[in-house]
Structure formats: C-alpha cells, structure tokens
Amino acid sequence: MIRTLGAAADDVTVVRPRLRLRPRLILKNAGGGTREVQLTELDVTIGRATTCDVVLTNAEVSRLHARIIARGEDHVLVPIGARRNTYVNGELTLEERLLRHGDMIRLAAEEFVYADAEQSPAAARQAPTERTGRSRGFALASAAIVALAALVGVLVVRMSRTPEVPEKPVPIPAPPPARVPAPAVAPVPEAKVNDDVRPPGPPARPDTSDRLAKLLYQGDIAFVENRYTTPPDESALYFYREALKLDPQNARARSQVALIIDRYLEWAERALAGNDRARARLFADKAAYAHEEVGDVGNGADIERRLDLLSRRVGSFTKK
C-alpha cells in the first residue's frame, strides 16, 4: 500500500501487483494461424515424441529434438537430436544458445519465435490502482458538517428567546471599502498566467535500437505466418527491409531475406518439375521481386543463375 502525502489517515492508494507474464514460444498452426506456448516449466522438451512438452509432427524432427531450459531470468536452447538441422536466426546451432526476445528458432522446417515476457507489450502495462477510504473520508466530513450546522441552529434558537436590549441603538458599521473591488481584481493574475501557456512539443523519437528490435520481431512473426511478401506493408520482407535501412549489415534480417528468396526459388523449381508453369512463374516472380528489393543478400550469383534458368523455361516474368 502507498499512502498519499497530505491525505487523510484512511485515504490510501492501493496498487495491485503486476501480473508476471511468462516467456513463450509463438508457433505456426497447421491451418496457417499461430498459437502461443508459455514456458511455465524449468525444462521444456520439443520433438516428435508424444511425451514432449511441445510436440511437432514433422518427420524431419527428432523424437527428442531440443530443450529450452530456464536459467534464472534467461532461457537457453539446447539441441539434442543427432540431426544438424537446428537453427537460431538462420545460424546452425549445435551447442546451447542463450535466447533473446524475437529470436527465430527453426527445427528442420518447423519455425517459431521466442518472446521474452519482459519485452512483451502486455508486460509494459501497469496494473490499475484503486483509491480506498475516500468515500469513508467524505462521509465523516459530511457528518461533521451536519453536526456543526445543528449546533449553530440550537445557538440561534436560544439567542432568539433571550435577546439583549441595549440602552442605545448600536449603529451598524459600514463594510470596509477595500473589500468591494476585490472580486474584479482576482481573475487578472490567473488570466496572465494562462496567456503564457505553450502547447507541448512533439513526442521524442524512439531509440533506433528499440525500433530495430521491433521490426525484426514483426518480421519474424510474419515469416512464421508465411506472409513473405504480402500484404506489402505487413510482410516479412517489408519489416526486414525496414530493419536493414536502420542497420544495413544486420545479420538476422539479411539471412531471413535470403531464406525467403531461396524458398520461392525452390517452390518455383518444384512447380516446374510438376509441369505447373503458372505456379512456377508466380514463385519465380516473387523471388525476383525480393531479390530486387534487397539485392545484396545470400549468394547473388547463384540466385541470378536460378532465376535465369527459370525464365528460360517459363518465359519472362515481371520484376515488380
């Protein structure tokens, strides 16, 4: 409890304790949406086995693929499976790795994002406060006023019953002249103060590092939801591109854009192998668009070679 300075003894401000949020994993559902798994245990197992805390159905995932272990306020990812297909932010991870807010974890083809509770938007909201005792204070004050009024009334009645008659009339003194103009002068200082009020300035620009972290996090969420290039202002490519404007050498954004281009090329090549030229052209067009937007990521020569082969097979495609 926090007692307000200068308040009545029973006027108390009670602050509700902030609910402690749990770090969580944001996973992609089979239907395309996302779901959250809170890391409530000190040791969370991930794999295909039904005994795991997080069960994945992908055949390329080991029965016990990895663990996420709590160490104080932090969490670390520990690869367990023999397969070398555990990645964090596009980097192959063979040993335990400390997780940070927004880290993109990939086990084979399964992808999810680690979200730290302390940096969650919900964690920044303070629990509401309550003012208690205020009603009681008002009630006591009201009762005191009523009692005082009653006492004054009794005195007035008694005085009216036994009036004193002076021998000579007592003249009523005239009111002091100085008090007459007082009401007209009172508003003048306040009006002068109000004239000096200036509108507040524009809000301060958020720190670049905070903006960068937010863009990377939004990009990872869009990536997990397969929003690679659409919608234009809510896609993974958009968020990573904006992040690269702040930090052109950001390894995480660069590796994720390279992965987007590679996936579109792979899908185009598979569609072409299945004689689906329309889908092959669509995916090749998206790969070319991402490559044109952020051209210096991945193996540029290999990307150009694959795009050239696809254009020969499916015809020219539009580079947006």
CA distance 129 to 66: 42
**Inter-axis angle of helices 236-246 and 277-293, to 10 degrees?**
20
Number of domains observed in the structure of the chain: 2
**What DSSP designation does 132 have?**
E
DSSP string for residues in 304-319: HHHHHHHHHHH-----
pTM of the model: 0.51
CATH of the domain at 54: 2.60.200.20
pLDDT tens track of the chain, all 320 residues?
444 444 444 454 444 444 446 788 888 776 667 888 888 889 999 999 999 999 988 888 989 999 999 988 889 999 987 778 899 998 899 888 999 888 999 988 888 899 886 554 444 344 444 444 444 555 556 666 666 666 656 555 555 554 444 455 555 555 555 555 555 545 544 544 444 444 554 544 557 888 899 899 988 888 888 889 988 888 999 999 999 999 999 988 998 999 899 999 999 999 999 999 888 889 999 988 899 888 788 888 899 999 999 988 887 665 44
Residue 234 lies in a domain: yes
Question: Rg (Cα) of the chain, in Å, rounded?
Answer: 36
Residue 308 lies in a domain: yes
Give alpha helix (H) positions in 127-235.
Answer: 134-161, 182-185, 187-195, 208-224
Give the residue from 119, 137, 170 where a domain finishes.
Answer: 119
Residue 266 lies in a domain: yes
Residue 79 lies in a domain: yes
Tokens of 313: 């097979």
Give the residue from 119, 135, 151 where a domain finishes.
Answer: 119
Residue 184 lies in a domain: no
Half-sphere exposure of residue 71: CA atoms within 13 angstroms, side-chain side: 12
Residue 204 is predicted with a pLDDT of 43
Residue 235 lies in a domain: yes
Tokens of 229: 């290039």
Residue 35 lies in a domain: yes
Residue 149 is predicted with a pLDDT of 64
Residue 271 is predicted with a pLDDT of 92
Q: Which of 40, 59, 39, 53 is nearest to 107 (CA)?
A: 59
Residue 86 lies in a domain: yes
Q: What phi, psi does 97 have (nearest 5°)?
A: -140, 135
- Residue 295 sits in which domain range? 213-314
The secondary structure of the chain in percent helix, strand, coil, rounded to multiples of 5, reads: 40, 20, 40
Q: Give the CA angle between residues 211, 213, 217 to the nearest 5°.
A: 115
Structural contact between residues 225 and 259, judged by C-beta atoms closer than 8 angstroms: no
Give the residue from 119, 145, 175 where a domain finishes.
Answer: 119
> Where does residue 156 rank: exposed (0-12), middle (13-18), buried (19+ CB within 10 A)?
exposed
